[in-house]
Amino acid sequence: MDPDYLPSLRHNGALDPNNWQPSRDNLRDDFGARRVEEGDLVGWRYAAWRVHEIRPYLDVDLTDRQRERLDELVQNVTDDARTQEFERLRPFHVVLRHVAGPLAIKEGEAPGWKRLHDGTREISFTSWPHRTRWYRLRDPYKTCSCHGHPWPCQEYDQKVMTAHQMREMDRLVATAQPGVCAHCLEPISNRQKTLTFPEESRFVPGAPGPTFHAGRGECWGGAERYEREGRLASNPDVVRLASCPGIRFIHEQLGMPSDKRIDCTAGPFCTGQHGPAGYRSDTPCYSHVQLAGNDGAYARPTFDCGYRRGDIACIGGDMSSGGTSLSPTAADQLWEQRRRGAGGWIV
């Protein structure tokens, strides 16, 4: 087993063959290549293919949509480098011929290859350098002993995926054990604060609702994900036990009364469920929190506390661009963006 391959499932194609990547010692380039040349041997969907032909798209060949896409890609490039960047990102048509390995297709997908007179299978499609990563194989390349296919083969990936799914199933079953935190799987003592969801467990059908440590930040985060991704998805009107539809700010002005120092954009709809003390330090009042793709929905403190420090100042109280409140749906989307690190929080 390849030690560099096993820890991650990102390159396992058992669920989607497009995710497959040859083992690192089979690659000519450590991180793949954006372009290929005629004669290159490439790995794609567990098989080895030979690049038979490359046909660059000329200007007259580009569709209107392709031209628009290219213009979007170079819009922030300086005029001097635009022509060079345009050529670097220009799509090309590639023709591949099958060498060895399975002809894997996704569920519901029609085979995209054709059989030539000599029995060779050929496939062709358009490749965009900015989003396509080619895995060029060494020649000769490492194969599996069971099928002679490029390593790792389909059977190996399926075994890895099955083992992973079994471990996940064991973990889910462990969350239903009484007296155990569903996130950290550690015992819960009588002196520890807990949060138990009243509905049937979404982890294990038929089991009682899971219990989480309420005084631990990581465990509270697990409870928050469980609620936002499960309970609220099924019933947006359910009473929140581990989340709030607002964003909580902390005003930095010295001498602020304690009852005004903490400011939630949900206002009267704040549930107070922002996690235990010290969990996810509150957003300072001079930060601007923005929800991308949702015009007018942005969060900032509900009032200006007067904090000033150089160019930094409390941004609360500005009602000119839609107000301060967020709908629960928008807030949950913003939370999801922040969790994924998708650039939802702008300071």
Which tokens belong to 266? 């949900």
Q: Parse the chain into domains and list their residue ranges.
A: 17-162, 176-234, 248-346
Residue 290 scores a pLDDT above 50:
yes
Burial of 337: CB neighbours in 10 Å, binned 0-12, 13-18, 19+: middle
Instruction: Give the DSSP letter of residue 308.
Output: E
Which tokens belong to 215? 């005084």
Highest mean pLDDT among 194-203, 256-265, 310-319 belongs to 194-203
pLDDT, position 100: 92
Q: Specify the pairing of strand 283-284 against strand 248-250.
A: parallel
Residue 260 C-beta-side C-alpha neighbours within 13 Å:
12
Is pTM, for the whole model, over 0.75?
no
CB 45 within 8 A of CB 20: yes
Backbone torsion region of residue 337, taken as left when φ is above 0, otherwise alpha when ψ lies between -120 and 50, otherwise beta: alpha
Instruction: Say how many Å lie between the first and final Cα of the chain, rounded.
Output: 45
CB 275 within 8 A of CB 221: yes
CA distance 289 to 249: 10
How would DSSP label each residue in 199-263? Answer: SPPSSSTTSPPPEEESS-HHHHHHHHHHIIIIIHHH-TTSPPSS--SS-EEE---TT--HHHHEE
Nearest to 17 by CA among 51, 42, 44: 44
Instruction: Give the DSSP letter of residue 153.
Output: P
> What's the pLDDT tens digit per position in 105-142?
887 788 888 888 888 999 998 888 888 889 999 989 99
> What's the pLDDT tens digit per position in 293-312?
445 556 788 889 999 998 89
pLDDT band of 344, cuts 50, 70, 90? very low
Residue whose structure tokens are 């890609």? 73
